[in-house]
Chains A and B, each alone.
Chain A
């Protein structure tokens, strides 16, 4: 546990010194939101469910940018071999990486969600706080599945292209559920009504946390 915390702090420190991931994730996400706002045309209001779709497109596209860096950084200088000979087990590395990615996603969403409400918020009953449960659950599931697949794609020649191709089909159900859940939250429905949607989201996170923890060692050993 202390090793997870140690690796987690190490990655976050690198991130805050270089500021390469969070800044580009947030910037790109905001860009996607603006593009979708322009595409929607002026003076038109979206239904809560369509607005939820817009938010998730921006969130997912920006998150995949940061995810690619989580592993590419270790591969570039051969750090992954150093991690493997360190006393930390591959499962520990997986947990730490997934938590780092979760943190990066939450940080960028702290900016993206307000931007979303500025651009699309008129006429929506639910506020930003109503989105917190589904955002947390999706971020956890996305980080678990994404960390596993970013380790896979980092070992190939076409890292940046391959990661979304591998990851997006897996998280399609996650996005479908998230759009329904946030759509309900934006329409002002209470949390208890959305529970049937949030439970599968949590299940996705658990399944991929377990699958990632078990499969990740095989992937990183293929240095």
Chain B
């Protein structure tokens, strides 16, 4: 069913992603002190935003699954967790690549880094949990519970991580944005591209999970 429709989101991201890359390298000015290394920031921030968004989607889908018990909420939750883990992995890698030349270390126990890492652990555990349960409804319930239990951990994680000193730059504050106008434009395009790409991926995985579940139904009907 899903395959017959025009793949709008993938097509749009096929246009937007190269445009964002082009803007990062040819339009945005090179930062004075950090040089070319700073350019990874556009991808880093966009990835981080959509990674957090996918965990939020997984948590909301988890609550809805527990309340409604519909298969599609489990599929949304599974898609959110999968894509979120991939994007968080990329956030951690891009952050480390930037941190090595700028902070002179691959890793530091900063609130944001710690929160991302712990979220990565929680939702990777969620993926492992999914693979360990056979029965479909049981897997869906457990995954939903884990997604919700993981998300309510976020405030405490952030609170505890504040104990460590922070050297992470705060580019976007509530009162001002510490960027050139052309840099802001690049960032906006980059975020939009990443958001479309993310939505496309989540949509794709969602469809795949639904099809897998339907296939399971058919197999059972044939077998029994």
- A residues lining the B interface (CB < 8 Å): 145, 148-149, 152, 155-158, 162, 165-166, 168-170, 172-174, 176-177, 180, 197, 200, 203-204, 207-208, 211, 215, 218-219, 222
Contact = CB atoms under 8 A, between A and B. Distances in A.
Interface of B: 66, 114, 118, 121-122, 124-125, 128-129, 132-135, 137-138, 141-142, 144-146, 148-150, 152-153, 155-157, 159-161, 163
A156 B145 contact: no
Contacts of A177: 160, 163
Given A155-B142, A200-B156, A166 B125 contact: yes
Contact of A218 (B114, B132, B144): B144
A151 to B, nearest CB: 9
B159 A222 contact: no
Contacts of A166: 125, 128-129, 146
Contacts of B133: 155-157
A156 B132 contact: yes
A208 B155 CA distance: 12
Given A173-B161, A222-B142, 20 more contacts: A148-B145, A152-B145, A152-B146, A162-B128, A162-B132, A165-B128, A166-B125, A166-B146, A168-B121, A169-B121, A169-B150, A173-B159, A174-B156, A176-B161, A180-B163, A203-B156, A207-B156, A215-B66, A215-B149, A222-B138
A200 B162 CA distance: 11
A43 to B, nearest CB: 30
B142 A219 contact: yes
A218 B66 CA distance: 7
B159 to A, nearest CB: 5
A172 B142 contact: no
A66 B17 CA distance: 50
B144 to A, nearest CB: 7
Given A165-B125, A172-B157, A156 B142 contact: yes
Given A211-B149, A215-B145, A169 B159 contact: no
B98 to A, nearest CB: 24
A195 to B, nearest CB: 13
Nearest to A141: B156
B159 A200 contact: yes
A169 B118 contact: yes
Sorted nearest first, the 10 A-B pairs with minimum C-beta distance are A169-B121, A173-B160, A169-B122, A156-B132, A222-B138, A173-B157, A215-B145, A177-B160, A200-B159, A176-B160
Contacts of A152: 129, 142, 145-146
Contacts of A165: 125, 128
